[in-house]
């Protein structure tokens, strides 16, 4: 059965305010990276993240790489990484020459299992990367205690968690450093882009230098009375966000409370409509943290073929995809340890449409289509 109606898996919320912000940047003549609009966005985003500093970056992967560089990860080191995550997390470790050691995750919310991480600490371990799975924060009090016990640093992969909280504290303020994504499917977006945030001035100053080829950005030299010719003493990167993107992000930050409210309304709507539906388990929300609902992940129960469900929903015009990746099974890493919980979630979780523009009719339609798909014999396994 096919449907003439389409409900997108993800969709940005943008409009005239973003267009007007772009007009202002175009009129300013400064479109390139790390300019005055980026500076303004960084100040505003630091407030949202609850940190002293923010650095606008080209994407979350570059923010993670900068974090690992300034934290000191390198060849011969091991970094414990939450296994259930988009591979940008593990890739960033590989880029430094260090080795990612993947830790299994909690079966309920899919974030790093603290006991699993503790069992992986060796004399080569230098740090831990926790991932806020689709935005819900990991167990940062316990992770911080583990890091302190062994003299490790703690990095928050907050790619999906802008606006989330953990025990009243905002995502971004929960570790030594944190990295965010502003990809098109995230809660706030400029299409691409990211940010690195933290309180440590020395770490953030070093990250800022590395993110602009190893020198201070040009905006810092504006208005000087003498010609400033920078000197390159380190090989940095071009990890800057453009002022065009920063203009969009400043508007998106102003929208954030309403976007979060709409996503929460959609998540609650799914919970009501899908309660008791046979064949799936709904996402778990813990009481001591708030969820920004970057994605809405459900889990196929035993006897249900996740892949067939996803393809059947797509045929009916309902956007759907896998949850995310079990990193240790990806060939690029050559990992030898098993993470059975993450592997199971990788096989069984799938995403339903989630964005701030969903209507009640959309939620009704998605729920109806999912119930019909789950009732069909074609999505049942032979076991």
Which positions are annotated as active-site residues?
Answer: 186
Is 312 in a helix, a strand, or coil? helix
Under 8 Å between Cβ of 114 and 143: yes
> What residues contact 258, with CB distance under 8 A and at least 6 apart?
356
Under 8 Å between Cβ of 289 and 165: yes
DSSP 8-state assignment for residue 8: -
Dihedral pair phi/psi, residue 15, rounded to 5°: -170, -150
Cα distance between residue 378 and residue 305, in whole Å: 9
DSSP per position, 77-109 = -EEEEESBS-THHHHHHHHTT-EEEEE-B-TTT
* Complete edge-to-edge strand list for the sheet that includes strand 125-131: 53-57, 194-198, 177-181, 153-157, 125-131, 78-82, 99-103
Is 47 in a helix, a strand, or coil? helix
């Amino acid at each position: 059965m096919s449907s003439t109606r389409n409900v997108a898996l993800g969709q940005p919320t943008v409009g005239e305010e973003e267009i007007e912000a772009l007009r202002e940047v175009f009129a300013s003549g400064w479109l390139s990276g790390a300019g005055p609009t980026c500076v303004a966005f960084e100040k505003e985003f630091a407030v949202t993240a609850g940190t002293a500093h923010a650095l606008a970056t080209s994407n979350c992967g570059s923010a993670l790489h900068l974090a690992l560089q300034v934290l000191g990860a390198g060849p011969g080191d091991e970094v414990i990484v939450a296994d259930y995550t988009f591979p940008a997390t593990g890739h960033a470790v590989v880029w430094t020459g260090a080795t990612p050691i993947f830790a299994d995750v909690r079966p309920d919310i899919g974030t790093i299992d603290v006991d699993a991480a503790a069992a992986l600490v060796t004399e080569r371990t230098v740090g831990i990367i926790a991932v806020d799975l689709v935005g819900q924060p990991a167990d940062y009090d316990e992770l911080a205690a583990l890091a302190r016990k062994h003299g490790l640093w703690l990095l928050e992969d907050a790619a999906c968690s802008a606006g989330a909280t953990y025990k009243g504290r905002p995502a971004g303020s929960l570790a030594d450093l944190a990295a965010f994504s502003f990809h098109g499917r995230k809660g706030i977006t400029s299409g691409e882009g990211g940010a690195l945030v933290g309180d440590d001035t020395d770490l953030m100053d070093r990250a800022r230098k590395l993110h602009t080829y190893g020198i201070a950005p040009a905006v810092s030299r504006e208005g000087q009375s003498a010609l400033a010719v920078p000197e390159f003493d380190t090989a940095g990167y071009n990890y800057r966000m453009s002022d065009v993107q920063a203009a969009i992000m400043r508007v998106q930050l102003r929208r954030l409370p309403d976007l979060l409210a709409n996503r929460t309304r959609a998540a609650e709507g799914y919970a009501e409509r899908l309660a008791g539906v046979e064949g799936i388990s709904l996402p778990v929300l813990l009481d001591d943290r708030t969820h920004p609902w970057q994605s809405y992940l459900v889990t196929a129960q035993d006897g249900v073929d996740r892949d067939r469900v996803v393809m059947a929903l797509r045929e009916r015009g309902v956007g759907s995809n896998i949850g995310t990746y079990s990193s240790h099974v990806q060939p690029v890493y050559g990992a030898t340890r098993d993470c059975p919980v993450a592997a199971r979630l990788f096989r069984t979780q799938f995403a339903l449409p989630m964005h701030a523009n969903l209507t009640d009719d959309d939620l009704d339609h998605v729920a109806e289509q999912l119930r019909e798909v789950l009732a069909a014999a074609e999505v049942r396994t032979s076991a």
